[in-house]
Amino acid sequence: MPTVSEMLDMTGRSAIVTGGGTHLGRAMASTLGELGAAVYIASRRADLCEQTAAELRADGLDVTALGCDVTDESQVDDLVGRVIKDRGRLDVMVANAGAAFTTSYIPDASIDEFRKTVEVNLTGTYICAQSAARVMIPRRSGSIVTLGSIHGFLTSDKRMYDGLPTFRRSGPPYQAAKGGIINLTRGLAAELGEYGITANCISPGQIPRTSTDEGHVERSRLAIPLQRTGVPDDLKGAIALLASPAGAWITGHNLIVDGGWSIW
């Protein structure tokens, strides 16, 4: 029987992390590299990805940066094709790229903002998953990890944002897109299970960026049972489990990493 260390070992495997240049994507890319995988990070900001890749390579990790718009099928197929050309296999697709574009709210919300939010988050995730599945199916193995959010099954409490005019909550478009990703992941698991491919979602809680309004960070901290907001490295354990052979019998799952925010 393999040891836990052996089950977490990803030496000889390859992975893609979209949106891998910053924040959560960077932490997950670093994790996969630390476990021994060859990691390709990609986003529309190829320059930012290259800067991150260089920093991770300086730490001894095998990381390559590429430009890719996840809403463009041909670009995603090219990204996957590059990994196959370089490594001969794709073991992990982390569909992390996403964003919120909310500047207005119901009843005066912009339908264009809704469409854009769904396109980048939900449609982009679907495109990445499908492209990965095409090369994973013949090998009858692979792991697809999507990124949801606590706002994929909870809404925003508007009171948390009162008096913070410079900080906007995500709003219904983001909540709809992330909720769609969670159930899309279940659908992927059902469709791809017969090929030995797992599909799971990670739903992070409040993991603020350095630019996040300090007032909101403190309100969030007080609402979390563990009494702290998250940091990107809090996702390392989740991605290590779901992307490696250690999670080989987990599929269709939504792993909530939120410090307990959603328990009350």
Instruction: Tell me the per-residue pLDDT of 62-77, one tens digit each, with 9 for 90 and over.
Output: 999 999 999 999 999 9
CB 19 within 8 A of CB 98: yes
Structural fold of domain 4-257: Rossmann fold (3.40.50)
Q: What is the model's pLDDT at position 97? A: 95
Nearest to 178 by CA among 202, 162, 157: 202
Residues of the chain with pLDDT under 70: 165-167
- Tokens, residue 34: 């630390």
Q: What is the model's pLDDT at position 212? A: 83
Domain boundaries, the chain: 4-257
Q: What is the model's pLDDT at position 252? A: 98
Q: What is the model's pLDDT at position 42? A: 97
Q: What is the model's pLDDT at position 163? A: 77
pTM over cut 0.85: yes
Residue with tokens 């606590």: 150
CB 109 within 8 A of CB 54: no
Neighbouring C-beta atoms of residue 135, cutoff 10 Å: 18
What distance in Å separates the CA atoms of residue 196 and residue 100, rounded to the nearest whole number? 33
Its sign, for the CA torsion 7, 8, 12, 14, is positive
Q: What is the model's pLDDT at position 72? A: 98
Q: What is the model's pLDDT at position 211? A: 81
Q: What is the model's pLDDT at position 190? A: 98
Q: What is the model's pLDDT at position 160? A: 81
What distance in Å separates the CA atoms of residue 205 and residue 198, rounded to the nearest whole number? 23
